[in-house]
């Protein structure tokens, strides 16, 4: 979900630029809920903005688009290798349902970094001294 969160954060930044007096929303994600339900409230609240990002992304990687073959090979490889665990796949299903899009579209959104000019597949972690890498 981290990559989709990047897309959501991008949407929020665009929203904030266009509505400077509007406070940025804050959300609590209840990890005790079933994975498919964790993001429903966020997706419902930000659906119009998220769909702008999704439409842009699918204009690049959607069927018949310039990077579709690359995106599809990458997506299939990740799914077939089971690199995404069951919780993550369930979260994707819940997001797709809340946005009324396909799970494949949400999977593409989670590969967002691979298609953008900032292509970044880094890992951020907390060190024992509370620093980050």
- Quick one: which of 10, 35, 17 has its CA closest to 85? 35
Give the C-alpha separation, 72 to 32, whole Å. Answer: 32
Task: Please report the pLDDT score of residue 40 as a whole number.
Answer: 94
Task: Please report the pLDDT score of residue 101 as a whole number.
Answer: 94
Task: Please report the pLDDT score of residue 11 as a whole number.
Answer: 56
Q: What is the mean pLDDT of each run of 10 residues along the chain (133 residues)?
A: 55 56 80 94 91 88 87 88 90 95 92 59 60 57
pTM: 0.70
Task: Please report the pLDDT score of residue 104 as a whole number.
Answer: 94
Which residues, at least 6 apart from 55, have a Cβ–Cβ distance to it below 8 Å? none
Task: Please report the pLDDT score of residue 30 as a whole number.
Answer: 93
Task: Please report the pLDDT score of residue 90 as a whole number.
Answer: 95
Task: Please report the pLDDT score of residue 57 as a whole number.
Answer: 86
């Amino acid at each position: 979900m981290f990559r989709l969160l990047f897309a959501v954060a991008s949407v929020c930044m665009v929203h904030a630029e266009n509505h400077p007096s509007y406070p940025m929303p804050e959300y609590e994600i209840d990890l005790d809920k079933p994975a498919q339900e964790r993001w429903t409230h966020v997706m419902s609240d930000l659906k119009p903005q998220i769909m702008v990002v999704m439409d842009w992304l699918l204009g690049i990687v959607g069927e018949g688009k310039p990077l579709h073959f690359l995106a599809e090979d990458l997506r299939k490889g990740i799914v077939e290798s089971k690199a995404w665990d069951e919780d993550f796949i369930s979260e994707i299903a819940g997001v797709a349902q809340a946005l009324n899009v396909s799970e494949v579209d949400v999977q593409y959104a989670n590969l967002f970094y691979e298609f953008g000019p900032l292509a970044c597949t880094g890992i951020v972690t907390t060190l024992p001294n509370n620093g980050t890498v």
